[in-house]
Amino acid sequence: MKRVEFFFDLTSPYSYLAATQLEGLAQRTGSEIVWKPLALGAVFKATGNAVPALCQPKARYMLADLGRWATRYGVRFQMNSRFPMNSMRGMRLIVAAEASGHSGALAQRLFAAAWAEDRDIASDDELRIFCREAGLDPEPLLAAVETQAVKDKLRAYGEEAVARGVFGAPAMFVGDQLFWGNDRLDFVEAALTAA
């Protein structure tokens, strides 16, 4: 089966926007989405990249741009009042959910909570709710978040991404082809169609 490897960080609003489009893309192309969370700060450090919001003119532009993309996609968007938020537990939770085959559903729920509902994705109480809403039992997943295996797998996704040329999020691979940014989904779809 054709597949898209989707590298993302829950703190990335552009990753949220891309994620809202993945299900439709997968259906149109008969593809599978492989969800690979990573710690974007570590990727920036490893590649010498910088947080876009640190440049004030770019930050102002980015806020307007995010709104335009949300309108184009027909999805809700609001800047999270906790930005920059701590996404580490949420991303580890997604890694822990891989064994159940529901990491994508959980990632989608956490993205919506962060970027459409202005909810706290660092709160265990909230994470329990999001797990249940994604059809998952929260307690074993929250326990797994603290395990070395889950921490190591999250770190490994980031290291894999950097080794393959990723410098930011969202980053998507179709085979060895890298596509960066939610505005490259048409190229992702073309690559999948050609595959």
Among all residues, which ones are annotated catalytic?
12
- Supply the DSSP string of 41-97, one letter for each residue: HHHHHHHT---GGGSHHHHHHHHHHHHHHHHHHT------TTPSP--HHHHHHHHHG
Pairing of strands 171-174, 177-180: antiparallel
User: Is-contact 18 170, C-beta < 8 A?
Assistant: yes
Residue 28: Cβ within 10 Å count: 11
User: Is-contact 93 133, C-beta < 8 A?
Assistant: no
